[in-house]
Amino acid sequence: MPETTYSQIALDGLWRNNTGLVQLLGLCPLLAVTGTAINGLGLGLATTAALIASNVTVSSIRHVVPPEIRLPVFVLVIASIVTAIELGMNAYFHELHKILGIFIPLIVTNCALIGRAEAFASKHPMSYALVDGLTIGLGFTAVLFVLGAMRELVGQGTLLAQAHLMFGDSARWLSITVIHHYRGFLLAILPPGAFIGLGLLIALKHIIDERLARRQAATVSVPPGGIPVPGEAT
């Protein structure tokens, strides 16, 4: 494991170890709610909040909880936090809650949460755990948002439709109809569209990583330890 610094944690969470694109955790909500960009953003932010809260809690009790009972305790912590967030969303973002429906309580089953609790938060101090939760969450949110925007644009020709559900009535101007009188492209909205879109995003990430690796290999003077190269950088 590389030396733990805030920037390392952030880089891991946002890019190198991205939950959606690299670890492929939490695929169920990722594929199910990304019909529109706003839905993706809403679920992403809810997941981020849950990740931060569970990471910080797990980290704060890491010296109290003996290893034998850590998993039930983590599960309990995560379940309580997610349910509290669900109630909060129902109270303060009622319309969005109605749309995201079952996927908010299902954050409990998002392996990213228990994964981060076990692999990171239970071994690191609170401040690190907080940054980890935040960046892992934001990395996940970014994937949800981009995938949602892609599917929305191709599927129904709009961007940020129903932005008012999240930001209030003053945000209606954010919704853009990109293609007028668009007949819609059903495949993008249905589940296969989510798989295809995610596949494209993963491919895109690989292309970018490869470019970066090649550029780094070209400049010899750069000190090692920047972007890790998967295998074949010659």
Partner 1 sequence: MGRNAVLLGVFAVLGTALLAFTEASTRQRIADNEREALLRTIHVLIPPTSHDNDLFRDTEEVREPLLLGTRDPMTAYRARKDGKPVAVILTPVAPDGYNGSIRLLVAIRYDGTLAGVRVLSQRETPGLGDGIEADRSPWIQQFAGKSLRNPNEVGWGVRRDGGQFDQLTGATITPRAVVKAVHRALKFYADRREQLFEPAHPTAPPPFAKETPHA
Find the Cα–Cα–Cα–Cα dihedral 18, 213, 10, 153, rounded to 10°: -50
x/- map, 141-160, partner 1, by CB under 8 A: --------------xx----
Q: How far is the CB of 173 from partner 1 (least distance, A)?
A: 17
Determine the interface stretch with partner 1 among 11-19, 83-91, 194-202, 223-231 (rule: CB under 8 A): 83-91
Residue 35 touches partner 1, criterion: CB under 8 A: yes
Residue 63 Cβ vs partner 1, minimum distance, rounded to whole Å:
12
Site for partner 1 in 90-129 (CB under 8 A): 90-92, 94-95, 98
Of 47 and 54, which CB lies nearer to partner 1 in the complex structure?
Answer: 54
How many chain residues touch partner 1 (CB under 8 A)?
Answer: 29
Q: What residues from 170 to 229 belong to the interface with partner 1 (CB under 8 A)?
A: 184, 186, 189-190
Q: Could you tell me the two tokens for 67?
A: 């290893």
Nearest approach in angstroms of CB 208 to partner 1 is 31
> What's the token pair of residue 43?
């679920």
Among 167, 46, 175, residue whose Cα is nearest residue 100: 46
Write out the residues near partner 1 by the rule CB under 8 A.
Answer: 35, 64-66, 68-69, 72-73, 76-77, 79-81, 83-84, 87-88, 90-92, 94-95, 98, 155-156, 184, 186, 189-190
